[in-house]
Amino acid sequence: MRKNILITGASSGLGRGMALEFARAGHNLALCARRMEQLEAVKLACERLNPAIQVAIVTLDVDDHQEVFTVFEHFADRFGTLDRIIVNAGVGKGAAIGTGHFQANKQTATTNFVSALAQCEAAMTIFRRQNAGHLVTISSVSAVRGFRRAMTVYAATKAGLGALTEGIRVDVLDTPIQVSTIYPGFIRTEINEKVKRVPFIVDTETGCRALVKAINKEKANCYVPVWPWAFLQYVLRIAPLRWLAKMS
C-alpha cells in the first residue's frame, strides 16, 4: 500500500476529490496548494472521513519552482518517506493564438508544463534517493490532439506532460520506481464550471473515484473514466479537424 501520498493543487477540484478518496482508504496525506483557507477545509474533511490518518498541509504556488523542492522535501522529512506523488496542479486559462492574450497563454504553459517539470524533478529526487515511489502526472484526454481557442495551449501542455512522463518512465524502467500518466476525460470542476455543453461529463465525485481507481492500478497510461474515454481516445486520434472544431 502506498501509505503516504503527496498531492499538489489539493485545495479544490480533482486534487480535493482525490484527497477525500485516499482519506477514505486510509492513506496519510501531504496536501499543498495556494489557498490555505481551502486547504484547511480539505484537511478537516479528510480527518472527519478517517480520524486515523495523518494530514499535513502547506501553501505552495507551483510557479515558485524553488519552493516546490522545499515543500516536497519538507513533506518527505515530515512523513519519513513519500510513497506516491501526484502532480495535479494546473490552470485552464488561455485564448486563441494571436488574439492578444499571450500572457494568459504563457501562464497556462508555465503552470501546466514548466511547473509540472519542477514537481517531477522534486518528486524523482526523493524517489531516486528512496529507490522507491510512484510518480503520477495528471494530463488530459485533450493531449491526444490539438484543440482550438482556449484549449489550444492547454492541450499542448498536457501533451507535453504526457511525453515528459513517458521519458521519466523509460529512464527508471526495471527499477522499484513506478511512473503513471492519467488522462481524465471531462470531469466537472472549477476549471470548466462555466462551460455548458460538454460531452460525457461526470460530476467531481464520480470522476475522482475513477481517478483514484486508475492511479492504484499503477499502469503506465490510463484514460478515465474508462467508459467512454478509453475508446474515444482512439476516435480522437483519427477524427477530422472539423469534428474537433465542434468539440472545443
pLDDT digits (tens, 9 = 90+) for 25-37: 999 999 999 999 9
Q: How confident is the model at residue 244 (pLDDT cuts 50, 70, 90)?
A: confident
Q: What is the CATH number of the domain that holds 209?
A: 3.40.50.720
* Cell numbers standing for residue 246: 465542434
DSSP 223: E
How many distinct structural domains can be found in the chain? Answer: 1
**Grid cell listed for 62:** 507551483
Q: How confident is the model at residue 243 (pLDDT cuts 50, 70, 90)?
A: confident
Query: Is 193's pLDDT higher than 60?
Result: no
Residues with active-site annotation: 154
Cα diameter, the chain: 52
Is the pLDDT assigned to residue 191 strictly greater than 70? Answer: no
pLDDT-derived band at 196, boundaries 50, 70, 90: low
C-alpha distances out from residue 210 to 16, 58, 222, Å: 14, 26, 10
Q: Render the burial of 231-245: b for 16+ CB within 10 Å, e for the rest.
A: ebbeebeeeeeeebe
Mean pLDDT over residues 18-26, rounded? 98
**What was the pLDDT predicted at 197?**
62
Domain that holds residue 87: 4-247
- 19 within 8 A of 46, measured Cβ to Cβ: yes
CA-to-CA distance for 13 and 86, rounded, in angstroms? Answer: 14
